[in-house]
Amino acid sequence: MVNQTNARLEAASTPAELFAAIEPKRAMVITAHPDDCEFMCGGTVAVLTAAGWTVDIMVVTSGNKGTKDPTVTSQQLAGEREEEQREAARILGANEPIYLGFHDGGVLDNDELRELIVYQMRKRRPELVITWDGFRPGFNHRDHRNVGRSTYDGIFPAADDHLYHPEHKDEGLEPHRPLALLLGGQANTGDPDFYVDIEPVLRKKVRAILAHTSQMRGRTEADTLKQWREAADRSKTERPELPVYREAYKRVLFRR
């Protein structure tokens, strides 16, 4: 059975084939900030939940520095952004978000973060993980890089080897290795090889983004859709072979 699953995963040439090959249908998105999920992979999450998947969203920081408003305190912003993430998850059909509570801008690729990621992997047991590509070239946020790298290393080898954090077994948690990983943040740089067509759920993605009102003040659904459609028209000419509305990833498979 394991060999058959590996063969189906490796043979999958489309997102539909990959998602069909994965059982059980549990996914986890691991991001640095509230709103990262919605921008990076909100459409993919909506596609998955519409197909009956269970999706968890884990947010490493509180996003407590992401404002230009001089009247807002860090504590106020953290509370506001937590509520925004909760509403966005509801719109996408995901579970109640998991918050790790690190300070915005203070994420390190270290054992502390990896242990928390390993713990949730063993507890939630996702078969598909989506996170930032911590290895891609070009400009990107330090928190994104470090969350992506810690997630990658947390999946393999740490979450799957019992001698990493053996104290987890005291809570009944066993080693776990997901079947697949999607590395996001590939829109402008990087070298994506996996594209999810999000046109059927485009409005849902936009509504989830706009739930982050502290970040999207003044933006409307109509304005956002108009901007994206203009970008899509350009994309049709540049990459006609790809879905017009898409989320781009690098795909990694983990054999069992």
Provide the CATH number for the domain formed by 2-253 in this structure.
3.40.50.10320
- The set of residues, in sequence order, having a beta carbon less than 8 Å from that of 217 and lying 6+ positions away, is none
> Cα(238)–Cα(167) distance, rounded to whole angstroms?
52
Residue 37 DSSP SS3: helix
- Give how far Cα 52 sits from Cα of 20, 49, 226, Å: 11, 5, 30
pTM for this predicted structure: 0.96
**Residue owning tokens 């269970």:** 54
> Cα(97)–Cα(214) distance, rounded to whole angstroms?
18
Q: What angle do CA 131, 62, 204 make, to 5 degrees?
A: 55
> Cα(189)–Cα(104) distance, rounded to whole angstroms?
23
pLDDT computed for residue 189 by the predictor: 66
In 3D space, the residue among 49, 131, 127 whose CA is nearest the CA of residue 88 turns out to be: 49
> Strand pairing of 128-132 and 26-31?
parallel
| pLDDT < 50 stretches in the chain | none
- The set of residues, in sequence order, having a beta carbon less than 8 Å from that of 116 and lying 6+ positions away, is 100
Q: Which amino acid is at 30?
A: I
Q: Do residues 128 and 178 make contact, with C-beta atoms less than 8 angstroms apart?
A: yes
Largest CA-CA distance found in the chain, in angstroms, rounded: 58
The β-bridge partners of 98 are: 58
In 3D space, the residue among 76, 152, 159, 85 whose CA is nearest the CA of residue 120 turns out to be: 159
Domain ranges of the chain: 2-253
How far does the chain reach from its first CA to its final CA, in angstroms? 10
pLDDT computed for residue 164 by the predictor: 98
Q: Which amino acid is at 230?
A: E
**Six-digit token string for 98:** 């998991």
Q: Which amino acid is at 136?
A: R
The β-bridge partners of 55 are: 27
- Give how far Cα 224 sits from Cα of 31, 89, 121, 184, 227, Å: 23, 19, 34, 21, 5
How many CB atoms are closer than 10 A to CB 168?
19
pLDDT computed for residue 188 by the predictor: 65
> Cα(237)–Cα(251) distance, rounded to whole angstroms?
25
Query: For 110-152, what is each residue's pLDDT tens digit?
Result: 999 999 999 999 999 999 999 999 998 877 899 999 999 999 9
* Sign of the Cα pseudo-torsion (17, 159, 106, 110, in order): negative
pLDDT computed for residue 232 by the predictor: 84
